[in-house]
Amino acid sequence: MKLNENGVRVVHDLIAHADRLHVTIAAPPGDVCVIDCGVDARGGLAAGCRLAEICLAGLARVRLTRGHDALWSGPWVAVMTDHPVSACMAAQYAGWPLSYGDYFAMGSGPMRAARGREPLFERIGCLEQPTRAVGVLESACLPPAEVRSDIARQCQVEPENLTLLVAPTASLAGTVQVVARSVETALHKLLELDFDLSRVISGYGIAPLPPVAADNLTAIGRTNDAVLYGAHVTLWVQGDDSSLEAIGPRVPSASSRDHGRPFTDIFAAYDRDFYRIDPLLFSPAVIDFVNVETGRQFRYGQPQPRVLEASFGVSQGSGIAGEAGE
């Protein structure tokens, strides 16, 4: 599966519709192509869905849908893939932190498979040596020249053959892109629990799309809470049932000691150090396993509407929709 080649195809389609998607493109001769999806550009919902699909190397579909209205009556982000390990773990997982002086970003997308330095690739394979690479940066700033050139160097491609798409979490496209990680969090949790990911043949997940936050810290909190306390993931798997019953209770976010509070509160309690947070927290609220060989389905976890309500900060207006003019 050629991750970067697939991702480049989706990028070409995005570029062809840049005006409609409200994104801007900077591609100086001999330099990296940078696509702004929400830093200075307006971006939007469609740009966020396309951004998420590029993160997933074009091997998944991302769309907005209706979810569990009793939990969240707003839109939900749905992800569907028949290539779960390649799309979610080899591409989408944000496993490349980039820090250059005052510049910081979380790198994801197919370019990670070209770089290939994360220990994760020793377990899942999927390494590549592409001639063109594409990646997504979750950052409030566009990457400066030294960052662009170093990413190209680490991906072993010429700068003009690298495309970077950028959106802050506190943007419409950035919020969609992060919330589209419901299936990815489930797979990563399973990997941490030493589950054989080759057994997973398809995945589907939905998570509530929170209001866009006014600052990146609040945005990080809301998007994490959307997955931790609202996401519902279904994985279609092969193999025996007993192993699913054994591992199932350990997969949802409720299995973590840090579960139960808004993410910003958890983050503050650990002095904003991600690495002190219990890694078992990062998983969906609910997970279903569907065994395609035995026909049995197993469900674990439950959503937390009170935490979502506190996190999303929705104020109930005095009027009711549809009553205007009465």
By C-alpha distance, which of 135, 137, 140 is closest to 166? 137
Strand 200-208 and strand 232-237: pairing? antiparallel
Residues near 90 by Cβ (< 8 Å), separated by ≥ 6? 3, 57, 110, 112, 113, 121, 124, 125, 126
Residue 22 CB neighbour total at 10 angstroms: 18
pLDDT at 188: 97
User: Please, are residues 248 and 298 in contact by the beta-carbon 8 Å criterion?
Assistant: yes
pLDDT at 317: 61
pLDDT at 320: 38
DSSP state of 171: S
- Please name the fold of domain 3-312: 3.30.1030
- Chain-centroid distance of CA 259 in Å reads 20
Give the DSSP H or E segment for 287: strand 286-291
pLDDT at 1: 75
Distance between CA atoms of 46 and 176, rounded to whole angstroms?
A: 9
User: Please, are residues 80 and 221 in contact by the beta-carbon 8 Å criterion?
Assistant: no
- Chain-centroid distance of CA 26 in Å reads 24
pLDDT at 273: 86
User: Please, are residues 219 and 271 in contact by the beta-carbon 8 Å criterion?
Assistant: no
Distance between CA atoms of 5 and 29, rounded to whole angstroms?
A: 21
By C-alpha distance, which of 185, 232, 244, 223 is closest to 204? 232
Residue 20 CB neighbour total at 10 angstroms: 11
Q: Which amino acid is at 30?
A: G
pLDDT at 315: 72
Per-residue pLDDT of the chain (326 residues; tens, 9 = 90+): 799 999 999 999 999 999 999 999 999 999 999 999 999 999 999 999 999 999 999 999 999 999 999 899 999 999 999 999 999 999 999 999 999 999 999 999 999 999 999 999 999 999 999 999 999 999 999 999 999 999 999 999 999 999 999 999 999 999 999 999 999 999 999 999 999 999 999 999 999 999 999 999 999 999 999 999 999 999 999 999 999 999 999 999 999 999 999 999 999 999 988 889 998 999 999 999 999 999 999 999 999 999 999 999 887 664 334 333 33
| Six-digit token string for 177 | 């892109």
